[in-house]
């Protein structure tokens, strides 16, 4: 029996908003979802911590390694096959790293949810709020590192009038996104794009919003070329949902475990500090950097970073 449940106040605090500003669509989804849970304590918590330590020590996956491209190609090919074989079922697009029946990180504790798909449910609530809050006024949306098109599907449902672009560095993802657009007749197309070596011929409209969702993490810190690409064709807004190691507290065991896993894998670091540096230089406006205090067993991958490049004003002097 679970004796706690997520409240709307919890949600507002997590997202960095107020209860009053949560849209009605989010309230409906929240009311329909089982968000009950128990906090793991004592021996149960110790077992989770031990499992996390063992996983971190034994993990040999290195983000950004050359062989990872083949792994992503194979993974998205599997999603493409599932999508076709299951009659173009959009549920088959859920990324496989979102796993059921596992403890979750929430509000500084390991919790055991009643809902086996708690992480996916909470992520969908956050994503709906995010898309309503920051994407409503955009004419174009560009998701870099779009994977299965999981996020683009929700955007297409919410905003069928918008032009959506899914960009990824492996062909299987591009093929899958194009297939989704064709089958459902959405205004959605896939494009091959490597963020470490950006295609300078790709155009971003100034009325567009750029989205990454667990994609910059995969660059192993090599994000500078992508930032420069955005500065040269500035969108209206950039929305990054990424693990952000700098927002953990190294003096807390709960956070330190996530830091160790993040560093062991080699996920990107210094992205948020770089944006702060650029803001101090007058090159960007950093509008939001909010840790959700929610994540999977090993780390929190959903820090919300919102920023926009400052367009250079030509004063007639060329400067």
Q: Is residue 220 part of a domain?
A: yes
- CATH number reported for the structural domain that contains residue 142 in this entry: 3.40.50.150
**The two structure tokens encoding residue 257:** 């475990």
Residue reference for tokens 């070596």:
197
Q: Is residue 187 part of a domain?
A: yes
Q: Is residue 153 part of a domain?
A: yes
Q: Is residue 71 part of a domain?
A: yes
Domains of the chain: total: 1
Spatial separation of the C-alpha atoms in residues 298 and 104, rounded to whole Å = 9
Spatial separation of the C-alpha atoms in residues 22 and 6, rounded to whole Å = 15
pTM to 2 decimals?
Answer: 0.94
Spatial separation of the C-alpha atoms in residues 289 and 306, rounded to whole Å = 7
Question: Could you tell me if 247 and 16 are in contact, meaning their C-beta atoms sit under 8 angstroms apart?
Answer: no
Q: What is the 3-state secondary structure (H, E, C) of the chain?
A: CCCEECCHHHHHHHHCCCHHHCCHHHHHHHHHCCCEEEECCHHHHHHHHHHHHHHHHHCCCCCCCCHHHHHHHHHHHHHHHHHHHCCCCHHHHCCCCCCCCCCEEECCEEEEECCCCHHHHHHHHHHHHHHHHHCCCCCEEEEECCCCCHHHHHHHHHCCCCEEEEEECCHHHHHHHHHHHHHHCCCEEEEECCCCCCCCCCCCCCCEEEEEECCHHHHCCCCHHHHHHHHHCCCCEEEEEECCHHHCCCCCHHHHHHHHHHHHHCCCCCHHHHHHHHHHCCCEEEEEEECCCEECCCCCCCEEEEEEECCCCCCCCCC
Spatial separation of the C-alpha atoms in residues 211 and 22, rounded to whole Å = 21
Question: What tens digit of pLDDT does each residue of 208-243 get?
Answer: 999 999 999 999 999 999 999 999 999 999 999 999
Q: With a cut of 90, say whether residue 69 has pLDDT above it.
A: no
Q: Is residue 263 part of a domain?
A: yes
Q: What is the 3-state secondary structure (H, E, C) of 168-207?
A: ECCHHHHHHHHHHHHHHCCCEEEEECCCCCCCCCCCCCCC
Range of the domain at 174: 65-98+122-309
Quickly state the pLDDT bin for 316 (edges 50, 70, 90). very low
Q: Is residue 25 part of a domain?
A: no
Question: What tens digit of pLDDT does each residue of 36-51 get?
Answer: 999 999 999 999 999 9
What is the reported pLDDT for 284? 97
User: Which of 8-17, 53-62, 145-154, 175-184 is the least confident region?
Assistant: 53-62
Q: Is residue 29 part of a domain?
A: no
Question: What tens digit of pLDDT does each residue of 151-204 get?
Answer: 999 999 999 999 999 999 999 999 999 999 999 999 999 999 999 999 999 999
Quickly state the pLDDT bin for 1 (edges 50, 70, 90). confident
Q: Is residue 41 part of a domain?
A: no
Question: Beta 208-213 vs 140-144: how paired, if at all?
Answer: parallel
């Amino acid at each position: 029996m679970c004796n706690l449940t997520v409240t709307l106040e919890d949600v507002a605090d997590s997202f960095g908003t107020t209860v009053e500003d949560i849209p009605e669509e989010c309230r409906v989804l929240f009311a329909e979802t089982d968000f009950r849970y128990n906090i793991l304590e004592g021996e149960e918590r110790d077992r989770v911590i031990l499992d996390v330590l063992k996983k971190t020590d034994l993990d040999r996956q290195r983000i950004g390694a050359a062989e990872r491209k083949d792994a992503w190609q194979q993974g998205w090919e599997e999603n493409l096959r599932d999508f076709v074989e299951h009659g173009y079922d959009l549920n088959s697009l859920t990324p496989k790293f979102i796993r059921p029946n596992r403890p979750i990180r929430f509000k500084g504790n390991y919790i055991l949810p009643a809902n086996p798909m708690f992480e996916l449910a909470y992520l969908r609530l956050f994503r709906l709020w995010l898309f309503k809050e920051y994407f409503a006024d955009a004419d174009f949306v560009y998701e870099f590192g779009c994977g299965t098109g999981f996020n683009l599907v929700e955007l297409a449902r919410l905003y069928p009038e918008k032009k959506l672009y899914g960009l990824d560095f492996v062909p299987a993802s591009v093929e899958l996104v194009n297939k989704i657009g064709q089958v459902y007749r959405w205004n959605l197309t896939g494009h091959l794009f490597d963020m470490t070596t950006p295609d300078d011929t790709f155009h971003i409209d100034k009325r567009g919003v750029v989205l990454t969702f667990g994609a910059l993490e995969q660059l192993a810190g090599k994000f500078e070329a992508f930032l420069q690409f955005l500065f040269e064709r500035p969108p209206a807004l950039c929305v990054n949902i990424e693990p952000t190691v700098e927002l953990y507290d190294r003096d807390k065991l709960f956070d330190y475990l996530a830091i160790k896993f993040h560093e062991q894998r080699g996920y990107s670091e210094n992205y948020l500090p770089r944006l702060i540096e650029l803001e101090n230089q007058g090159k960007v406006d950093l509008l939001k950097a909010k840790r959700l205090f929610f994540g999977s067993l090993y780390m929190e991958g959903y820090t919300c970073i919102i920023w926009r490049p400052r367009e250079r004003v030509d004063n007639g002097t060329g400067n």
